[in-house]
A and B are shown apart, each in its own frame.
Chain A
Amino acid sequence: MADGRKEPKSKYTLDRGMPGAFEGETVTRRRFMNVTAQAAGGIAVAAFALPALGFAAGSALFDRPPVEWEAIGPGEDFPMDTYVPRVITEVAGIGQVGKTTIYVRKRNPKTDPPPNPTTMPEGVTDEFIAMSTRCMHLGCPVRYIDAAKRFVCPCHGGVYNFEGQVDGGPPVRPLDRFYTRVVGGQVEVGPRYSVNSEFRRFPSYRDPAQDLDGIGQYLYPGRFSTPKLSN
Protein backbone atom coordinates (compact mmCIF):
# COMPACT_ATOMS: atom_id res chain seq x y z
CA MET A 1 0.00 0.00 0.00
CA ALA A 2 3.05 2.21 -0.05
CA ASP A 3 2.58 3.26 -3.65
CA GLY A 4 -0.38 5.47 -4.26
CA ARG A 5 -3.42 5.76 -2.04
CA LYS A 6 -6.78 4.29 -2.91
CA GLU A 7 -9.25 6.59 -4.53
CA PRO A 8 -11.81 7.66 -1.90
CA LYS A 9 -14.94 5.66 -2.54
CA SER A 10 -17.91 7.52 -3.91
CA LYS A 11 -20.81 7.72 -1.50
CA TYR A 12 -23.19 6.64 -4.28
CA THR A 13 -23.69 2.94 -4.70
CA LEU A 14 -24.15 3.50 -8.43
CA ASP A 15 -20.65 4.90 -8.77
CA ARG A 16 -19.23 1.97 -6.89
CA GLY A 17 -20.65 -0.36 -9.50
CA MET A 18 -22.93 -2.25 -7.18
CA PRO A 19 -25.35 -4.52 -8.97
CA GLY A 20 -28.90 -3.21 -8.92
CA ALA A 21 -27.93 0.19 -7.51
CA PHE A 22 -30.39 3.03 -7.82
CA GLU A 23 -29.53 6.53 -8.81
CA GLY A 24 -28.85 8.66 -5.74
CA GLU A 25 -28.69 5.61 -3.43
CA THR A 26 -26.09 6.08 -0.70
CA VAL A 27 -27.05 3.42 1.87
CA THR A 28 -26.24 -0.06 0.67
CA ARG A 29 -28.95 -2.64 1.11
CA ARG A 30 -26.72 -4.71 3.32
CA ARG A 31 -26.23 -1.73 5.60
CA PHE A 32 -29.93 -0.87 5.53
CA MET A 33 -30.82 -4.44 6.45
CA ASN A 34 -28.28 -4.43 9.26
CA VAL A 35 -29.52 -1.16 10.77
CA THR A 36 -33.16 -2.22 10.44
CA ALA A 37 -32.55 -5.55 12.15
CA GLN A 38 -30.66 -3.88 15.02
CA ALA A 39 -33.39 -1.27 15.41
CA ALA A 40 -36.10 -3.93 15.41
CA GLY A 41 -34.23 -5.82 18.12
CA GLY A 42 -33.84 -2.64 20.15
CA ILE A 43 -37.52 -1.83 19.86
CA ALA A 44 -38.48 -5.38 20.84
CA VAL A 45 -36.31 -5.21 23.98
CA ALA A 46 -37.61 -1.75 24.88
CA ALA A 47 -41.18 -2.98 24.41
CA PHE A 48 -40.87 -5.32 27.39
CA ALA A 49 -38.06 -3.73 29.38
CA LEU A 50 -39.52 -0.23 29.68
CA PRO A 51 -42.98 -1.32 30.89
CA ALA A 52 -41.31 -3.71 33.34
CA LEU A 53 -39.08 -0.96 34.70
CA GLY A 54 -41.99 1.46 34.94
CA PHE A 55 -44.06 -1.18 36.69
CA ALA A 56 -41.33 -1.89 39.24
CA ALA A 57 -40.42 1.72 39.98
CA GLY A 58 -43.44 3.82 38.98
CA SER A 59 -45.85 3.24 41.82
CA ALA A 60 -42.98 3.24 44.33
CA LEU A 61 -41.86 6.70 43.22
CA PHE A 62 -45.01 8.44 42.02
CA ASP A 63 -48.11 6.96 43.72
CA ARG A 64 -49.58 9.60 46.01
CA PRO A 65 -51.20 8.01 49.04
CA PRO A 66 -54.50 9.60 50.12
CA VAL A 67 -54.51 12.03 53.05
CA GLU A 68 -56.00 10.18 56.00
CA TRP A 69 -56.85 11.56 59.41
CA GLU A 70 -57.02 9.32 62.43
CA ALA A 71 -58.72 10.31 65.67
CA ILE A 72 -56.55 9.71 68.74
CA GLY A 73 -58.76 11.01 71.56
CA PRO A 74 -60.22 14.18 73.04
CA GLY A 75 -58.03 17.24 73.45
CA GLU A 76 -58.12 17.00 77.26
CA ASP A 77 -56.06 13.79 77.04
CA PHE A 78 -52.94 15.65 76.05
CA PRO A 79 -51.19 17.89 78.57
CA MET A 80 -48.66 20.57 77.77
CA ASP A 81 -45.77 19.36 79.91
CA THR A 82 -45.47 15.72 78.88
CA TYR A 83 -46.10 13.40 75.96
CA VAL A 84 -48.84 10.80 75.71
CA PRO A 85 -48.14 7.79 73.49
CA ARG A 86 -50.67 6.77 70.85
CA VAL A 87 -50.58 4.06 68.18
CA ILE A 88 -51.67 5.10 64.71
CA THR A 89 -51.89 3.29 61.40
CA GLU A 90 -49.43 4.53 58.82
CA VAL A 91 -50.11 1.86 56.21
CA ALA A 92 -53.54 0.26 56.25
CA GLY A 93 -54.24 -3.41 55.59
CA ILE A 94 -50.95 -4.96 56.70
CA GLY A 95 -51.67 -5.49 60.38
CA GLN A 96 -49.09 -4.67 63.01
CA VAL A 97 -46.45 -3.81 60.44
CA GLY A 98 -48.38 -0.75 59.31
CA LYS A 99 -48.76 0.69 62.82
CA THR A 100 -46.46 3.10 64.59
CA THR A 101 -46.29 4.80 67.97
CA ILE A 102 -46.44 8.59 68.15
CA TYR A 103 -46.06 10.94 71.11
CA VAL A 104 -48.62 13.73 71.45
CA ARG A 105 -48.83 16.81 73.64
CA LYS A 106 -50.53 20.19 73.57
CA ARG A 107 -48.53 22.99 72.05
CA ASN A 108 -47.08 25.43 74.54
CA PRO A 109 -47.25 28.84 72.83
CA LYS A 110 -44.65 30.25 75.22
CA THR A 111 -41.87 27.75 74.59
CA ASP A 112 -42.68 26.20 71.22
CA PRO A 113 -41.48 28.16 68.20
CA PRO A 114 -44.21 29.39 65.82
CA PRO A 115 -44.78 27.34 62.67
CA ASN A 116 -42.37 28.09 59.89
CA PRO A 117 -43.64 28.91 57.29
CA THR A 118 -46.40 30.45 59.39
CA THR A 119 -49.26 29.38 57.12
CA MET A 120 -50.23 25.78 57.73
CA PRO A 121 -52.28 23.81 55.17
CA GLU A 122 -56.02 24.39 55.28
CA GLY A 123 -57.78 22.70 58.18
CA VAL A 124 -54.56 22.03 60.05
CA THR A 125 -54.41 23.64 63.45
CA ASP A 126 -51.20 23.78 65.33
CA GLU A 127 -52.75 23.21 68.74
CA PHE A 128 -51.21 19.78 69.31
CA ILE A 129 -47.77 18.43 68.56
CA ALA A 130 -47.63 14.83 67.33
CA MET A 131 -44.06 13.62 67.38
CA SER A 132 -42.91 10.74 65.22
CA THR A 133 -40.90 7.97 66.89
CA ARG A 134 -38.75 7.47 63.82
CA CYS A 135 -35.17 8.26 64.77
CA MET A 136 -33.53 10.63 62.33
CA HIS A 137 -30.30 8.69 62.37
CA LEU A 138 -31.42 5.52 60.58
CA GLY A 139 -35.05 5.01 61.50
CA CYS A 140 -35.08 3.00 64.70
CA PRO A 141 -37.96 3.68 67.12
CA VAL A 142 -37.20 6.31 69.77
CA ARG A 143 -38.82 6.26 73.24
CA TYR A 144 -39.84 9.25 75.32
CA ILE A 145 -38.40 9.19 78.83
CA ASP A 146 -40.37 11.54 81.02
CA ALA A 147 -37.81 11.75 83.84
CA ALA A 148 -35.24 13.15 81.40
CA LYS A 149 -37.79 14.96 79.22
CA ARG A 150 -35.97 13.47 76.29
CA PHE A 151 -36.41 11.03 73.41
CA VAL A 152 -33.79 8.28 73.31
CA CYS A 153 -33.04 5.87 70.49
CA PRO A 154 -31.98 2.31 71.42
CA CYS A 155 -29.90 1.61 68.31
CA HIS A 156 -27.04 4.10 68.18
CA GLY A 157 -27.71 6.45 71.05
CA GLY A 158 -29.51 9.36 69.43
CA VAL A 159 -31.00 11.79 71.99
CA TYR A 160 -33.64 14.50 71.33
CA ASN A 161 -34.90 17.16 73.69
CA PHE A 162 -38.51 17.93 74.60
CA GLU A 163 -39.07 19.85 71.35
CA GLY A 164 -37.58 17.02 69.29
CA GLN A 165 -34.37 18.91 68.61
CA VAL A 166 -31.20 16.79 68.47
CA ASP A 167 -29.44 16.79 71.82
CA GLY A 168 -26.75 14.26 71.11
CA GLY A 169 -25.71 11.27 69.05
CA PRO A 170 -25.75 10.77 65.31
CA PRO A 171 -29.22 12.06 64.19
CA VAL A 172 -29.04 14.76 61.53
CA ARG A 173 -32.26 16.66 62.17
CA PRO A 174 -35.12 16.95 64.69
CA LEU A 175 -37.80 14.29 64.91
CA ASP A 176 -40.50 14.30 62.22
CA ARG A 177 -43.99 15.45 63.16
CA PHE A 178 -47.54 14.78 62.03
CA TYR A 179 -50.11 17.38 61.06
CA THR A 180 -52.85 17.64 63.66
CA ARG A 181 -56.33 19.12 63.68
CA VAL A 182 -59.27 19.12 66.05
CA VAL A 183 -62.61 17.90 64.75
CA GLY A 184 -65.56 17.78 67.16
CA GLY A 185 -63.31 17.84 70.20
CA GLN A 186 -61.27 14.91 68.89
CA VAL A 187 -57.61 15.37 68.04
CA GLU A 188 -56.86 13.93 64.61
CA VAL A 189 -53.48 13.02 63.19
CA GLY A 190 -52.72 13.37 59.49
CA PRO A 191 -49.69 13.03 57.23
CA ARG A 192 -46.09 13.21 58.38
CA TYR A 193 -43.82 16.19 57.74
CA SER A 194 -40.15 16.86 58.37
CA VAL A 195 -38.47 19.82 60.02
CA ASN A 196 -34.89 21.05 59.93
CA SER A 197 -32.93 22.30 62.90
CA GLU A 198 -34.65 25.70 62.67
CA PHE A 199 -38.04 23.93 62.69
CA ARG A 200 -38.72 24.90 59.11
CA ARG A 201 -41.45 22.62 57.84
CA PHE A 202 -40.81 20.35 54.84
CA PRO A 203 -44.21 18.97 53.74
CA SER A 204 -42.54 16.32 51.62
CA TYR A 205 -41.11 14.32 54.47
CA ARG A 206 -37.63 12.92 54.04
CA ASP A 207 -36.21 9.61 55.10
CA PRO A 208 -34.03 9.48 58.22
CA ALA A 209 -30.36 10.38 57.83
CA GLN A 210 -31.21 13.01 55.23
CA ASP A 211 -29.94 16.34 56.44
CA LEU A 212 -32.22 19.30 55.76
CA ASP A 213 -29.93 22.16 56.77
CA GLY A 214 -27.90 24.11 54.26
CA ILE A 215 -27.03 22.09 51.19
CA GLY A 216 -28.79 19.01 52.58
CA GLN A 217 -32.22 20.23 51.52
CA TYR A 218 -31.03 20.25 47.90
CA LEU A 219 -29.02 17.01 48.06
CA TYR A 220 -32.06 15.17 49.37
CA PRO A 221 -34.98 16.30 47.21
CA GLY A 222 -38.57 15.72 48.29
CA ARG A 223 -40.50 12.84 46.82
CA PHE A 224 -43.13 13.03 44.10
CA SER A 225 -45.42 10.87 46.17
CA THR A 226 -46.00 13.38 49.00
CA PRO A 227 -49.62 13.22 50.22
CA LYS A 228 -51.31 16.39 49.02
CA LEU A 229 -53.02 18.51 51.65
CA SER A 230 -55.21 21.26 50.22
CA ASN A 231 -53.24 24.37 50.91
Chain B
Amino acid sequence: MKLPLPPLPTALQPKPKRPSEEEQVKPVEQVKEAGISAVDWIDERTSLSGAARWVMFRKIPKGTNWFYTLGSATMFAFLSQAVTGVVLAMYYDPSVTNAYESTRHITNDVFLGEFVRGMHKWGSTVMVVLICLHMARTFFFGAYKYPRELNWVIGVVLLILTFVMSFTGYLLPFDQRSYWATIVGVNINGTGPLAGPFLSDFLRGGAEFGATTLSRFYAIHMLVVPGAIAALIGAHLYLVARLGTTAPPWLKAESHEGIREERV
Protein backbone atom coordinates (compact mmCIF):
# COMPACT_ATOMS: atom_id res chain seq x y z
CA MET B 1 0.00 0.00 0.00
CA LYS B 2 1.30 3.42 -0.92
CA LEU B 3 0.92 6.09 1.72
CA PRO B 4 0.38 9.70 0.63
CA LEU B 5 3.49 11.84 0.98
CA PRO B 6 3.52 14.37 3.77
CA PRO B 7 3.40 18.00 2.58
CA LEU B 8 7.14 18.50 2.22
CA PRO B 9 8.78 21.54 0.70
CA THR B 10 9.70 20.92 -2.89
CA ALA B 11 13.43 20.83 -2.18
CA LEU B 12 13.01 17.87 0.17
CA GLN B 13 10.64 15.81 -1.95
CA PRO B 14 12.19 12.72 -3.49
CA LYS B 15 13.00 13.36 -7.08
CA PRO B 16 11.91 10.97 -9.77
CA LYS B 17 14.74 9.24 -11.65
CA ARG B 18 15.98 10.66 -14.86
CA PRO B 19 15.46 8.35 -17.83
CA SER B 20 19.24 8.22 -18.44
CA GLU B 21 19.96 6.83 -15.00
CA GLU B 22 20.16 3.06 -14.76
CA GLU B 23 17.67 1.24 -12.61
CA GLN B 24 19.59 0.43 -9.38
CA VAL B 25 18.67 -2.72 -7.41
CA LYS B 26 18.55 -1.77 -3.77
CA PRO B 27 20.38 -4.02 -1.25
CA VAL B 28 17.12 -4.57 0.66
CA GLU B 29 15.51 -5.94 -2.48
CA GLN B 30 18.50 -8.16 -3.11
CA VAL B 31 18.25 -9.63 0.36
CA LYS B 32 14.52 -10.13 -0.07
CA GLU B 33 15.13 -11.85 -3.39
CA ALA B 34 17.75 -14.15 -1.84
CA GLY B 35 15.37 -15.06 0.98
CA ILE B 36 12.56 -15.85 -1.41
CA SER B 37 14.72 -18.02 -3.60
CA ALA B 38 16.06 -19.92 -0.56
CA VAL B 39 12.54 -20.60 0.65
CA ASP B 40 11.55 -21.57 -2.87
CA TRP B 41 14.47 -24.01 -3.05
CA ILE B 42 13.25 -25.78 0.10
CA ASP B 43 9.60 -25.67 -0.91
CA GLU B 44 10.32 -27.13 -4.34
CA ARG B 45 11.86 -30.13 -2.62
CA THR B 46 9.49 -30.55 0.36
CA SER B 47 6.18 -28.89 -0.58
CA LEU B 48 6.07 -27.62 2.98
CA SER B 49 4.28 -24.42 2.05
CA GLY B 50 1.07 -26.35 1.45
CA ALA B 51 1.22 -27.86 4.94
CA ALA B 52 2.12 -24.51 6.46
CA ARG B 53 -0.79 -22.86 4.71
CA TRP B 54 -3.04 -25.70 5.87
CA VAL B 55 -2.00 -25.13 9.46
CA MET B 56 -1.92 -21.35 9.53
CA PHE B 57 -4.71 -20.13 7.25
CA ARG B 58 -7.62 -21.95 8.81
CA LYS B 59 -11.15 -20.70 9.09
CA ILE B 60 -12.05 -19.98 12.67
CA PRO B 61 -15.57 -19.52 13.95
CA LYS B 62 -17.11 -16.22 14.86
CA GLY B 63 -16.82 -15.47 18.56
CA THR B 64 -13.32 -16.86 19.01
CA ASN B 65 -11.89 -15.09 22.03
CA TRP B 66 -9.04 -14.97 24.53
CA PHE B 67 -10.11 -18.24 26.16
CA TYR B 68 -8.97 -19.98 22.98
CA THR B 69 -5.37 -19.02 23.71
CA LEU B 70 -5.08 -21.20 26.82
CA GLY B 71 -3.93 -24.21 24.77
CA SER B 72 -1.05 -22.40 23.13
CA ALA B 73 -0.25 -20.77 26.47
CA THR B 74 0.14 -24.26 27.92
CA MET B 75 2.34 -25.23 24.99
CA PHE B 76 4.58 -22.21 25.51
CA ALA B 77 4.81 -23.08 29.19
CA PHE B 78 5.98 -26.53 28.11
CA LEU B 79 8.51 -25.05 25.70
CA SER B 80 9.80 -22.79 28.46
CA GLN B 81 10.13 -25.80 30.75
CA ALA B 82 11.93 -27.74 28.03
CA VAL B 83 14.47 -24.97 27.34
CA THR B 84 15.15 -24.09 30.97
CA GLY B 85 15.26 -27.82 31.81
CA VAL B 86 17.90 -28.48 29.16
CA VAL B 87 20.14 -25.70 30.42
CA LEU B 88 19.61 -26.68 34.07
CA ALA B 89 20.78 -30.19 33.10
CA MET B 90 24.12 -28.66 32.10
CA TYR B 91 24.86 -27.89 35.76
CA TYR B 92 22.77 -30.47 37.64
CA ASP B 93 24.28 -33.72 38.90
CA PRO B 94 21.73 -36.49 39.47
CA SER B 95 23.76 -38.43 42.03
CA VAL B 96 22.51 -39.07 45.54
CA THR B 97 25.51 -37.43 47.16
CA ASN B 98 25.83 -34.40 44.82
CA ALA B 99 22.30 -33.54 43.73
CA TYR B 100 21.58 -31.14 46.58
CA GLU B 101 25.01 -29.53 46.32
CA SER B 102 24.67 -29.03 42.56
CA THR B 103 21.23 -27.49 43.02
CA ARG B 104 22.68 -25.15 45.62
CA HIS B 105 25.51 -24.33 43.21
CA ILE B 106 23.00 -23.48 40.45
CA THR B 107 21.01 -21.24 42.78
CA ASN B 108 23.85 -19.44 44.51
CA ASP B 109 26.86 -19.42 42.19
CA VAL B 110 25.94 -19.78 38.53
CA PHE B 111 25.21 -16.59 36.56
CA LEU B 112 21.39 -16.28 36.20
CA GLY B 113 21.14 -19.64 37.99
CA GLU B 114 18.56 -18.55 40.52
CA PHE B 115 16.51 -16.93 37.76
CA VAL B 116 16.53 -19.92 35.40
CA ARG B 117 15.89 -22.38 38.19
CA GLY B 118 13.07 -20.13 39.38
CA MET B 119 11.61 -20.09 35.88
CA HIS B 120 11.65 -23.88 35.82
CA LYS B 121 10.25 -24.24 39.32
CA TRP B 122 7.46 -21.68 39.04
CA GLY B 123 6.92 -22.51 35.37
CA SER B 124 5.92 -26.03 36.33
CA THR B 125 3.12 -24.65 38.48
CA VAL B 126 2.15 -22.27 35.69
CA MET B 127 1.95 -25.18 33.26
CA VAL B 128 -0.28 -27.20 35.59
CA VAL B 129 -2.57 -24.21 36.15
CA LEU B 130 -2.76 -23.44 32.42
CA ILE B 131 -3.42 -27.05 31.39
CA CYS B 132 -6.26 -27.22 33.92
CA LEU B 133 -7.73 -23.92 32.68
CA HIS B 134 -7.41 -25.16 29.10
CA MET B 135 -9.21 -28.35 30.05
CA ALA B 136 -11.94 -26.40 31.83
CA ARG B 137 -12.37 -24.15 28.76
CA THR B 138 -12.73 -27.22 26.55
CA PHE B 139 -15.24 -28.72 28.94
CA PHE B 140 -17.41 -25.67 29.48
CA PHE B 141 -17.43 -24.76 25.78
CA GLY B 142 -18.45 -28.34 24.92
CA ALA B 143 -15.41 -28.56 22.65
CA TYR B 144 -14.80 -32.20 23.61
CA LYS B 145 -17.88 -33.39 21.69
CA TYR B 146 -18.00 -35.14 18.33
CA PRO B 147 -15.76 -35.16 16.35
CA ARG B 148 -13.17 -34.01 18.90
CA GLU B 149 -13.38 -36.84 21.46
CA LEU B 150 -10.00 -38.27 20.51
CA ASN B 151 -8.40 -34.88 21.03
CA TRP B 152 -9.93 -34.80 24.52
CA VAL B 153 -8.44 -38.23 25.22
CA ILE B 154 -5.00 -37.09 24.04
CA GLY B 155 -5.42 -34.01 26.22
CA VAL B 156 -6.16 -36.13 29.28
CA VAL B 157 -3.02 -38.19 28.61
CA LEU B 158 -1.07 -34.92 28.34
CA LEU B 159 -2.55 -33.83 31.68
CA ILE B 160 -1.43 -37.08 33.32
CA LEU B 161 2.04 -36.77 31.78
CA THR B 162 2.25 -33.21 33.12
CA PHE B 163 1.51 -34.56 36.60
CA VAL B 164 4.17 -37.25 36.09
CA MET B 165 6.61 -34.44 35.25
CA SER B 166 5.65 -32.59 38.41
CA PHE B 167 6.05 -35.72 40.52
CA THR B 168 9.42 -36.77 39.11
CA GLY B 169 10.78 -33.23 39.01
CA TYR B 170 9.93 -32.64 42.66
CA LEU B 171 12.61 -35.08 43.81
CA LEU B 172 15.46 -33.54 41.86
CA PRO B 173 16.48 -30.66 44.21
CA PHE B 174 16.94 -33.49 46.74
CA ASP B 175 16.24 -31.55 49.90
CA GLN B 176 14.25 -32.86 52.85
CA ARG B 177 10.95 -31.77 51.35
CA SER B 178 11.48 -33.47 48.00
CA TYR B 179 12.88 -36.62 49.63
CA TRP B 180 9.91 -37.17 51.96
CA ALA B 181 7.36 -36.07 49.37
CA THR B 182 8.76 -38.69 47.01
CA ILE B 183 8.64 -41.37 49.72
CA VAL B 184 4.98 -40.52 50.27
CA GLY B 185 4.21 -40.35 46.54
CA VAL B 186 5.84 -43.69 45.77
CA ASN B 187 4.00 -45.29 48.68
CA ILE B 188 0.71 -43.95 47.34
CA ASN B 189 1.57 -45.73 44.07
CA GLY B 190 2.13 -48.85 46.15
CA THR B 191 -1.44 -48.88 47.43
CA GLY B 192 -2.75 -50.10 44.09
CA PRO B 193 -3.84 -53.71 44.58
CA LEU B 194 -1.66 -56.51 43.12
CA ALA B 195 0.39 -54.32 40.75
CA GLY B 196 1.00 -51.51 43.26
CA PRO B 197 3.88 -53.08 45.21
CA PHE B 198 5.75 -53.86 42.00
CA LEU B 199 5.09 -50.38 40.60
CA SER B 200 6.56 -48.74 43.67
CA ASP B 201 9.60 -51.06 43.53
CA PHE B 202 10.01 -50.13 39.87
CA LEU B 203 9.87 -46.42 40.67
CA ARG B 204 12.40 -46.72 43.50
CA GLY B 205 14.60 -49.17 41.64
CA GLY B 206 14.33 -51.59 44.56
CA ALA B 207 12.68 -52.15 47.90
CA GLU B 208 14.37 -49.13 49.49
CA PHE B 209 14.93 -45.58 48.38
CA GLY B 210 18.42 -46.26 47.10
CA ALA B 211 21.31 -45.25 44.93
CA THR B 212 19.40 -45.43 41.65
CA THR B 213 16.09 -43.86 42.68
CA LEU B 214 17.21 -40.33 41.87
CA SER B 215 18.77 -41.17 38.50
CA ARG B 216 15.67 -43.18 37.63
CA PHE B 217 13.43 -40.20 38.37
CA TYR B 218 15.83 -37.96 36.46
CA ALA B 219 15.72 -40.20 33.37
CA ILE B 220 11.93 -40.33 33.47
CA HIS B 221 11.76 -36.58 34.05
CA MET B 222 14.06 -35.46 31.28
CA LEU B 223 13.95 -38.22 28.65
CA VAL B 224 10.88 -40.44 28.77
CA VAL B 225 8.05 -38.04 29.54
CA PRO B 226 9.15 -34.91 27.63
CA GLY B 227 9.48 -36.98 24.46
CA ALA B 228 6.01 -38.40 24.96
CA ILE B 229 4.58 -34.94 25.70
CA ALA B 230 6.18 -33.44 22.58
CA ALA B 231 4.84 -36.24 20.38
CA LEU B 232 1.35 -35.99 21.85
CA ILE B 233 1.31 -32.20 21.48
CA GLY B 234 2.04 -32.82 17.79
CA ALA B 235 -0.93 -35.18 17.54
CA HIS B 236 -3.10 -32.74 19.54
CA LEU B 237 -2.24 -29.85 17.19
CA TYR B 238 -2.73 -31.98 14.09
CA LEU B 239 -6.26 -32.80 15.23
CA VAL B 240 -6.96 -29.14 16.02
CA ALA B 241 -5.91 -28.18 12.50
CA ARG B 242 -7.78 -31.11 10.99
CA LEU B 243 -11.06 -30.61 12.85
CA GLY B 244 -11.02 -26.86 13.42
CA THR B 245 -12.10 -25.09 16.58
CA THR B 246 -15.59 -24.73 17.99
CA ALA B 247 -17.65 -21.60 18.31
CA PRO B 248 -18.39 -20.49 21.86
CA PRO B 249 -21.63 -21.99 23.15
CA TRP B 250 -23.40 -18.64 23.52
CA LEU B 251 -23.42 -18.14 19.74
CA LYS B 252 -26.52 -19.44 17.96
CA ALA B 253 -25.98 -20.95 14.55
CA GLU B 254 -27.09 -18.55 11.82
CA SER B 255 -30.02 -20.08 10.02
CA HIS B 256 -29.95 -20.23 6.26
CA GLU B 257 -32.18 -17.97 4.13
CA GLY B 258 -33.96 -20.88 2.52
CA ILE B 259 -34.67 -22.65 5.78
CA ARG B 260 -36.20 -19.49 7.24
CA GLU B 261 -38.56 -19.24 4.27
CA GLU B 262 -39.61 -22.84 4.65
CA ARG B 263 -40.51 -22.32 8.27
CA VAL B 264 -42.96 -19.52 7.46
Taking beta carbons and an 8 Å cutoff, which residues of A are in contact with B? 56-57, 59-61, 63, 65, 90-91, 93-95, 97-98, 138-141, 155, 205-210, 219-223, 225-226
Q: Are A219 and B201 in contact (CB under 8 A)?
A: no
Q: Are B197 and A210 in contact (CB under 8 A)?
A: yes
Partner among B187, B197, B202, B211 whose Cβ is within 8 Å of the Cβ of A94: B211
Q: Are B190 and A91 in contact (CB under 8 A)?
A: no
Give A226 to B204 CA distance when docked, in angstroms: 15
Q: Are B206 and A221 in contact (CB under 8 A)?
A: no
One digit per residue, 1 when the CB lies within 8 angstroms of any chain A CB and 0 when it does not, for chain B 171-206 equals 000000001100110111011011011101110111
Q: Are B183 and A138 in contact (CB under 8 A)?
A: yes
Give A217 to B205 CA distance when docked, in angstroms: 23
Q: Are B206 and A138 in contact (CB under 8 A)?
A: no
Chain B residue with the shortest CB-CB distance to A154: B180
B210 contacts A by Cβ under 8 Å: yes
Tier of interface size on chain B: 20 to 34
Give A155 to B212 CA distance when docked, in angstroms: 25
Q: Are B211 and A60 in contact (CB under 8 A)?
A: no
Q: Known A-B contacts: A97-B97, A221-B197. Give 7 more (CB < 8 A).
A: A57-B202, A60-B206, A60-B212, A93-B211, A95-B96, A207-B187, A210-B196
B208 to chain A, nearest CB (A): 5
Partner among A95, A140, A141, A225 whose Cβ is within 8 Å of the Cβ of B97: A95
Give A207 to B196 CA distance when docked, in angstroms: 10
B207 contacts A by Cβ under 8 Å: yes
Once A60-B204, A206-B197 are accepted as A-B contacts, the answer to whether A91 and B187 lie under 8 Å apart by CB is no
Q: Are A208 and B187 in contact (CB under 8 A)?
A: yes
Q: Are A220 and B187 in contact (CB under 8 A)?
A: no
Give A128 to B207 CA distance when docked, in angstroms: 24
B209 contacts A by Cβ under 8 Å: yes
Q: Are A90 and B208 in contact (CB under 8 A)?
A: yes
Q: Are B206 and A94 in contact (CB under 8 A)?
A: no
Q: Given the complex, which residues of A lie within 8 Å of B205, measured CB to CB? A: 59-60
Partner among A57, A63, A97, A210 whose Cβ is within 8 Å of the Cβ of B179: A97
Give A93 to B96 CA distance when docked, in angstroms: 10
Q: Given the complex, which residues of B lie within 8 Å of A221, measured CB to CB? A: 194, 197
B109 to chain A, nearest CB (A): 22
Give A223 to B204 CA distance when docked, in angstroms: 13
B192 to chain A, nearest CB (A): 9
B107 to chain A, nearest CB (A): 20
Give A31 to B201 CA distance when docked, in angstroms: 44
Q: Given the complex, which residues of A lie within 8 Å of B197, measured CB to CB? A: 206-207, 210, 220-223
Q: Are B207 and A205 in contact (CB under 8 A)?
A: yes
The contact sample of 22 A-B pairs, CB cut-off 8 A, is A60-B204, A60-B212, A90-B208, A91-B208, A91-B209, A91-B211, A94-B96, A98-B208, A138-B187, A139-B184, A139-B187, A155-B184, A205-B207, A208-B190, A209-B187, A209-B188, A210-B190, A220-B196, A220-B197, A223-B201, A225-B201, A225-B206
B170 to chain A, nearest CB (A): 15
